[in-house]
Amino acid sequence: MCTDRDLGSKIYRVDDMAVLTGDERPADGRPAPDGSQPRTSPSEAAAGPLGAGKVVGVVLAAGAGTRYGMPKVLAEQGDWLRAAVVALADGGCDEVVVTLGAALVDVPVPARAVVVPRWADGLSESVRSGLIEAIRADCAGVALLVVDVPDTSAAVVRRVLDAAGARREALVRAVFGGRPGHPVYLGADHLAGVLTTITGDRGAGAYTDQRPDVVTVECGDLTSGRDRDFI
């Protein structure tokens, strides 16, 4: 397990969260101190002003993985974490955030990490920290992905995001043979409602299960979408 000092990333204190990021480029489009220009994602270029159509991918990876026997962010020497970040980044997310708690690790580029202070209180705290960070990024929507579904591919993420269209009012969920899974897209208009609904070990499903307007996207032809609870 790494300590904050080992992470080699700048630490920002935002209310009760520590946000770690190795990318110190200004958000207003100015060149970084090294003279490099900030990158513009395809969706930002199409949408216009920063944040107009930005989708933030969030890897939920703060838990202790009690049934698995270790924090799943460490599983397979970090391969699960790398796979999740790649799936979100290559699948169309403009930014990727990883929530950390039980274990602090270096996160793969282009992701940045958010430390969840109350990670032991359940999945809801990991979702909460990820959504708050996404709101601060002025996003159009969030794609949630749990770290313990290692066969999630960029094609799955892309199919969900295509259905969502970076719309603020959209709610889209991947299903596998009709079984609900991840990723889940939450339009920005719903984030406040999710934050007031989640509690304990219940994540965004506490909100989406009450909504008749959730669009399901079948992805069973791409991957199994099954989570891994045991070694």
Segment 78-111, tens digit of pLDDT: 999 999 999 999 999 999 999 999 999 999 999 9
Distance between CA atoms of 72 and 193, rounded to whole angstroms?
28
Q: By three-state DSSP, how is residue 220 classified?
A: coil
Expressed in angstroms, the distance from the first to the final Cα of the chain is 19
CB atoms within 10 A of CB 49: 10
* Alpha-carbon distances of 120 from 31, 65, 116, rounded to whole Å: 39, 11, 9
Closest CA to 46 of 147, 166, 127, 131: 166
Query: pLDDT at position 230, please?
Result: 62
What does the pLDDT read at residue 228? 86
Closest CA to 201 of 46, 64, 79, 82: 64
Question: pLDDT class for 30, splitting at 50, 70, 90?
Answer: very low
Confidence at residue 231, expressed as pLDDT on a 0 to 100 scale = 57
Segment 47-70 mean pLDDT: 81
Mapping DSSP to helix (H, G, I), strand (E, B) and coil, where does residue 184 land? strand
Q: Topology of 4-22+52-218 in CATH?
A: Spore Coat Polysaccharide Biosynthesis Protein SpsA; Chain A (3.90.550)
Segment 103-148, tens digit of pLDDT: 999 999 999 999 999 999 999 999 999 999 999 999 999 999 999 9
The whole-number average pLDDT for the span 184-202 is 96
pLDDT at 130: 98
Domain ranges of the chain: 4-22+52-218
DSSP string, 80-112: HHHHHHHHHHHTT-SEEEEEESSS--PPPTT-E
Asked if 184 and 211 count as a contact pair (C-beta separation under 8 A), the reply is no
